Amino acid sequence: MIRMRVLAAGWAAALAWTLSGGALAGAPEPIKVGFSMALTGAIAVNGKQLLAALEIWRDDVNARGGLLGRPVQLVYYDDQSNPANVPGLYTKLITLDKVDLLIGPYATNMIAAAIPVIAPYNMMTLGIFGLEVNSQFHYPKYFSMLPTGPEGALGFSKGFFDLAGRQSPTPRTVSILAADAEFARTATDGARVNARSAGLDIVYDKRYPPNTTDFAPIVRAIQAANADLVFVASYPPDSVGIVRAASEVGLSPKMFGGTMIGLLSTNIKMTLGPLLNGIVNHVDFMPAGRFAFPGLDALINQYQAKASAAGIDPLGYEFPPFAYAAGQVLATAVEATGSLDQERLAAYLRDHSFRTVIGEFSFAQDGEWAKTRSLFTQFQHVSGHDLDQFRDWAKEVVLWPPEYKSGDLIYPYAAARE
């Protein structure tokens, strides 16, 4: 099945090249862009969106004549949301498929498994949504598609604690809960630093196994700690379980939220409906207001048309723009250097800024963004489980940072739940 996906991608690229003016017979060899993607498993809800966006990017590039006069072909495999699968897949992409360029993989856990394999081959890659991964390796050909920038792990919680510190009376205690996996551990490492900087006492600090399904006992323990704030770092299935358990147990801190990745999914938002009200959560992007960058509407329209047939996230506001932007960065570097040489491409990425559908940015130390651009939002007045209420951002207002603010925090959490 995986191999059939690769072959289908190749035929699609060849067909797009033919329709855009190339000839199938005697056409140039395609430029192969390789990656693994979470198409099954815990984070597939996001991985499928990223793949759809990369396919749109490929088709757009090929419709314009390809790169360096050659069509682009995607070569990809399902890593099943399992870091253990990633090293073998990237070894295969590099040594057997002989891809010309790499993107990904997606997610901190997977990227951390990929870099030690990619580095010996001196290939460049653009990791998608990897939190401070390269701080372990300092690999000079790794670049990050995540806007936490120089704040790193602190950026996933700074806004949460900054907002809390502005409330009256000032919160004094916090409970921290995280999945026992790379991303969540790193995010909560940052949360501890921010919490202590804010003068908060950490009264509960636990991790749960990634295969946890019953969160009621955990949430009861958090309730017993009676903290003013509850900060959670969780993956998609966990986010659903934690929010439902919080409602069932009657958890009622003054602020509840964190970096709950599942709450970025439209389908999960629809599933949880009013249970979302009051949650303050980290997001990386929203296609509205000051984030309405050139080309974004066209991408969203193409994605949504594709999503309806593919049965994936119907809106695609958070994840697809980053995958498409990764493709834009790669294409810009290839065209500007006129090369597929990994050294030249990496040097170009280090020395230039890029205008993309998620805005303009540049890379700095360890391939992270030179400037931080993280957001915190709060779900407000969500009613029912229909899709239309999530098409704009009236039900999920931006609270932080102040320059992007679109609404006010409803505080305490119980007031937003009424």
User: What pLDDT, on the 0 to 100 scale, is given for residue 10?
Assistant: 46
User: What pLDDT, on the 0 to 100 scale, is given for residue 7?
Assistant: 39
User: What pLDDT, on the 0 to 100 scale, is given for residue 288?
Assistant: 83
User: What pLDDT, on the 0 to 100 scale, is given for residue 16?
Assistant: 46
Ranges for all domains in the chain classified under CATH 3.40.50.2300: 2-147+291-367, 152-283+380-417
User: What pLDDT, on the 0 to 100 scale, is given for residue 2?
Assistant: 42
Whole-angstrom distance, CA of residue 347 vs CA of residue 363 = 11
User: What pLDDT, on the 0 to 100 scale, is given for residue 25?
Assistant: 54
Is the domain covering 2-147+291-367 a CATH 3.40.228.10 domain? no
| Per-residue tens of pLDDT for the chain, all 418 residues | 444 344 344 444 444 444 444 445 578 999 999 999 999 999 999 999 999 999 999 999 999 999 999 999 999 999 999 999 999 999 999 999 999 999 999 999 999 999 999 999 999 999 999 999 999 999 999 999 999 999 999 999 999 999 999 999 999 999 999 999 999 999 999 999 999 999 999 999 999 999 999 999 999 999 999 999 999 999 999 999 999 999 999 999 999 999 999 999 999 999 999 999 999 999 999 898 889 999 999 999 999 999 989 999 999 999 999 999 999 999 999 999 999 999 999 999 999 999 999 999 999 999 999 999 999 999 999 999 999 999 999 999 999 999 999 999 999 999 999 8
CB 287 within 8 A of CB 411: no
User: What pLDDT, on the 0 to 100 scale, is given for residue 281?
Assistant: 98
User: What pLDDT, on the 0 to 100 scale, is given for residue 27?
Assistant: 80
Distances (CA, A) of 308 to 273, 305, 313: 21, 6, 8
Q: What is the pTM of this model?
A: 0.90
Q: What is the CATH number of domain 152-283+380-417?
A: 3.40.50.2300
Exposure string (b/e) for 172-202, b if CB count within 10 Å is 16 or more?
Answer: ebbbbbbbebbbbbbbbbbbbebbeebebeb
Across-strand partners of 77? Answer: 36
